[in-house]
Amino acid sequence: MRGWPFSILVEARGADGPRDPYGELALIMLLSALAALPAMLAPVLPLTDLGGHVGRYAVQLDAGHSMALRLWYSFEWGLLPNLGVDLLVQLLAPLMGLEPAVHLIVGSIPPLTVAGMLLLSRAAHGRIGVNALYALPLAISLPYLYGFVNFALAIALALHAAALWIALEHRPVLRAALFVPIGFLLWLCHLVGWAVFSLIAGMTALAAGWRAGRGVIGTTVSTGLMTAPLLLGPIVGMLLQHPAKETVALLANNDAPRKISWLIMALTDRWLLWDAAGTAIMAFVLYISLRTRGFALNAGLMASALALLALYLLMPDTIMGSRFADMRLGPVILTLFLLAIAPGPLVDPRLTRWLLIGGLVFAGARLATNTVSMVLSGRQFAETLTAIEAAPRGVNLVSLYIDECEVWNTDRRRHIMGYGLARRHLFDNGQWQLPSGQLISIHNPRLAPFDKDPSAITFLRPCGELPAVADVVAVVPRAARFLWVIRIDPRTRFPGWEPLRKTNDSVLYRRLQTQLH
């Protein structure tokens, strides 16, 4: 029972802190390195929105040199709270190439998240709590697999910042000085990452003030003074922020409320029953921890989890034009709940041991299935992308992705056409422009309404008021000489188009010469 990692994760510590800090560091490094396996082994990172990001990065890096890209897109640098990966790509891509840089940066987010979870657990409880093992699979959660990369990076950094914030509780002057630039960098990476960290910082400061017996007024005042430095950087950033060229609604609801569903689907990857079971396992561990006497509870993290849960239940699904704003918070809420609780010295060692074994098995099983899923999807991406090799460089292309109608679709190629933009400077009608969160502008009126997202999404058969793919193809503007249809039977033919290159379930078509006149 005293072997590694049991002594690191289980045994109670004295007032002097952990007995084996090097062992804890080794454990953090090992678990973080293992979290890199899924992305490392995938030939192409198969994240839903990532193709769109890669296309935008290509325009960003091109800086107006390509005539084709200059004709269709504009990119103007400015300050926005959504630039984390964009800035890292700008730094690394000239050194190693666009796609390798994106693979490295985005593939590093799960290891960074795992390290942040373990460090935050250690800061909150004086040691790494066993319950933290059950949070580790959330490093590869639905928002990450959806390709919300700036958000995912910001949340990973917010966990590290929260651990440092708690560790510096007794050094307020140093903390205030450090968190002016840290707050700005979090805001620059992604607004929600800064907001989540600020909530954790405020709640842990409130808990510390209340624990010190300062009373309601004293605690409120001290918390306000401690967290005020977090606002300085973002205030300066907002004053210098890139002005939006068009307005967008601050709050909106674009989907039916799915609050409970998003929490259940926090781990959604490929095998939905297994993914939902994973959430149930985490919920069961939380139930045991809250019902069993002797578990240590960090009041600041628990208050943060409860506050974020309340906000999640009340908030709309779209903020400043950004969809799935509520869905993104589900894994963060579950993470904070799990990190807030850890077995104390009075908990039966047998229960702690079983929680340890269960946590290692659960985290290992999730890692294994995420790795298999990522490799399978990555190979599918790579095979599908061979179709665009037959298209001439720099041509107008309309891409269509056949989605499921009102059924959850685990295929993640909805924005794969962005790789065509990056690799061959093909027009990507799956690109989106968001005045409040993107620096790219799209101008290709000859292809309207097939000039931007969501024009790439269609269905095999009519879906409500939305037409079937055959009807969509029939109205593709003549300016498009090539058509790429993904998730279709390769034997499918469309009037006026001839197949040029086929893959397992996609076809690149060329418009027949008689249709060009």
DSSP state for residue 445 in the 8-state scheme: G
Residue type, 296: A
- Axis-axis angle for helices 172-189, 229-239 (nearest 10): 30
Cβ–Cβ under 8 Å, residues 491 and 427: no
Structure tokens at 150: 């700036």
User: In angstroms, rounded to a whole number, what is the distance separating the alpha carbons of residues 24 and 15?
Assistant: 17
Q: Are 427 and 441 in contact, with CB atoms under 8 Å apart?
A: no
Structure tokens at 323: 């969809």
Which residues have CB under 8 Å from 365's CB, separation 6+? none
C-alpha closest to that of 475 among 465, 467, 487: 467
Length of the chain: 517
Q: What is the pLDDT of residue 300?
A: 95
Q: Is 329 helix (H, G, I), strand (E, B) or coil?
A: helix
- Cβ–Cβ under 8 Å, residues 486 and 402: yes
Structure tokens at 281: 């396992």
pLDDT of residue 237: 81
- In the 8-state DSSP scheme, what is residue 417? T
Partners of residue 75 on adjacent β-strands: 440
Contact status, residue 468 vs residue 459, Cβ threshold 8 Å: yes
- The whole-number pLDDT of residue 1 equals 44
pLDDT value of residue 319:
83
The DSSP string of 204-225 is HHHHHHHHTT-HHHHHHHHHHH
Query: Omega into 5 within 30° of 0, i.e. cis?
Result: yes
Q: Give the count of beta carbons closer than 10 Å to the beta carbon of residue 501.
A: 17
81, 439 in Cβ contact below 8 A?
Answer: no
Residue 482, phi then psi, degrees to nearest 5: -130, 150
**Which pTM value belongs to this model?**
0.94
Paired strand residues for 401: 457, 486
Alpha carbons 313 and 316: distance in angstroms, whole number:
8
Query: E strands along 307-370, which residues?
Result: 318-319, 341-343
Q: Which among 55, 20, 230, 53 is positioned nearest to 144, based on CA atoms?
A: 53
Sequence-ordered list of residues with C-beta below 8 angstroms from that of 289, at least 6 positions apart, any chain: 131, 295, 341, 343
Tokens 């037959």 locate to 390
Of residues 407, 362, 142, 367, the one with CA closest to residue 262: 142
Measured distance CA(122)–CA(164) in Å, rounded: 11
| pLDDT (0 to 100) of residue 41 | 97
CB 302 within 8 A of CB 337: yes
> What's the Rg (C-alpha) of the chain?
24
Q: Which of 94, 82, 108 is nearest to 58 (CA)?
A: 94
Query: Alpha helices, DSSP H only, in 64-190?
Result: 67-72, 84-96, 98-107, 109-125, 132-135, 142-146, 149-167, 172-189
Mean pLDDT in consecutive groups of 10 residues from the start of the chain, 517 residues? 59 48 89 97 97 97 94 93 96 98 98 98 94 98 97 98 95 92 95 96 90 80 86 83 68 80 95 96 96 93 96 88 89 98 92 95 98 98 97 96 92 97 97 84 95 96 95 96 97 97 97 71
pLDDT at site 481:
95
- Whether the Cβ atoms of residue 289 and residue 131 lie closer than 8 Å to each other: yes
User: How far is the C-alpha of 256 from the C-alpha of 172, rounded, in Å?
Assistant: 44
Question: Residue 17 has what pLDDT?
Answer: 46
Q: Could you tell me the CA-to-CA distances from 132 to 31, 300, 304, 329 in Å, in that order?
A: 11, 16, 16, 18
